[in-house]
Amino acid sequence: MKISLNTKVMVRSGVRGVIAAMAMSGLRQATTSLNLVESSPPKSVLQKTVPGLLEQLPGEQHPALLAVAHWGYGLGAGLAFGALPERLRHKTWVGPVYGMALLAAFHFGIAPALRIEQRLTDVHEQLALTADHLLYGIVVAGFPMPHRD
């Protein structure tokens, strides 16, 4: 059975998206434990979209649920990256810009739509969120060796 080039690109992009979200989760763990980020976007989204879910689970299970939810977001964003035109996916600057676009989508689209309170004036939090979204974009794009279809 022959797999098409587009299928390979999408599978690779989805896998990279999950790996990028895992890397991002590691960085986020550091920034939240240093109190640079008050509440992670995945936690805020989960609390708004499935109210009471976290409260139904033992506290020690919260990190696992949040990680799986974040990896799911990473998968979706990775698949969307794979759907970008080939000429864009091959540019080294596209990954970091893509990561920043995801952060902007959260700040200016998802958070307002879900009425998630944000601390946009907290410089430390914004720098931490910027760093982890840049990391996501770099990993999903395969920087410094971008996608080669």
Amino acid at 33: S
Q: CB neighbours of 71 closer than 8 A, spacing ≥ 6?
A: 18, 21, 22, 25
Domain boundaries, the chain: 5-141
Say if CB 82 and CB 146 are below 8 A apart. no
pLDDT digits (tens, 9 = 90+) for 58-91: 888 988 998 999 999 999 999 999 999 988 988 8
pLDDT digits (tens, 9 = 90+) for 106-143: 999 999 999 998 888 889 999 999 999 999 999 999 87
Q: What is the mean pLDDT of the chain?
A: 89
Where residue 121 falls (left for φ over 0; alpha for ψ -120 to 50; beta otherwise) is alpha
Alpha carbon distance 129, 119 (integer Å): 11
CA 137 to chain centre: 8
